[in-house]
C-alpha cells in the first residue's frame, strides 16, 4: 500500500469512527455497563463517589445540557484522544525503527 492509499484509508477510517461516535453513541443502551451491573448485583452500588471534575463522566460532556449532543460529543472526544495517542505511539515506533537502521526491518 503506497502512502497516498494509506493516508486515504486512515482518514476514511477516522471519518467513519467520528460519524459513528457522534450519531450512534446517543442511542446506546441506558442499561448499566459491566462495572455498574456488578456493583448493583453485589450490593455496593450505593458506595460510589461522584466523579468530581471529570469532564466526560457518565459518558457525556459536562456543561452540555442536551443529553444526545453531550453523548455524541463525548464519543467524538474519545475517538480524537484515542487517535491522537495511536499517532504518537506509531510516530515513536517509526522513529525507533529509523534509528536502528535497515538491518532492524529485515530488508
Mind listing the pLDDT tens digit for each residue in 48-89?
Answer: 777 767 777 778 888 889 999 999 999 999 999 999 999 999
pLDDT band at 100 (very low <50, low <70, confident <90, very high): confident
Query: Is the pLDDT at 105 greater than 60, yes or no?
Result: no
Q: What is the residue range of 59's domain?
A: 3-28+53-102
pLDDT band at 104 (very low <50, low <70, confident <90, very high): low
Q: What is the 3-state secondary structure (H, E, C) of the chain?
A: CCHHHHHHHHHHHHHHHHHHHHHCHHHCCCCCCHHHHHHHHHCCHHHCCCCCCCCCCCCCCCCCCCHHHHHHHHHHHHHHHHHHHHHHHHHHHHHHHHHHCHHHHCC
pLDDT score for 28? 82
pLDDT score for 62? 86
Domain count, the chain: 1
For residue 80, tell me if it sits in a domain.
Answer: yes
For residue 44, tell me if it sits in a domain.
Answer: no
pTM of the model: 0.74
Q: Across the chain, what does the average pLDDT equal?
A: 87
Query: Is the pLDDT at 102 greater than 90, yes or no?
Result: no
For residue 42, tell me if it sits in a domain.
Answer: no
Mean pLDDT of 28-43: 83
Amino acid at each position: 500500500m503506497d502512502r497516498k492509499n494509506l493516508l486515504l484509508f486512515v482518514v476514511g477510517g477516522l471519518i467513519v469512527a467520528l460519524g459513528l461516535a457522534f450519531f450512534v453513541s446517543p442511542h446506546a443502551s441506558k442499561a448499566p455497563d459491566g462495572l455498574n451491573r456488578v456493583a448493583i448485583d453485589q450490593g455496593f452500588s450505593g458506595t460510589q463517589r461522584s466523579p468530581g471534575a471529570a469532564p466526560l463522566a457518565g459518558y457525556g460532556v459536562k456543561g452540555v445540557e442536551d443529553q444526545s449532543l453531550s453523548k455524541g460529543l463525548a464519543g467524538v472526544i474519545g475517538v480524537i484522544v484515542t487517535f491522537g495517542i495511536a499517532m504518537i505511539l506509531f510516530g515513536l515506533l517509526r522513529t525507533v525503527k529509523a534509528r536502528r537502521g535497515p538491518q532492524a526491518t529485515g530488508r
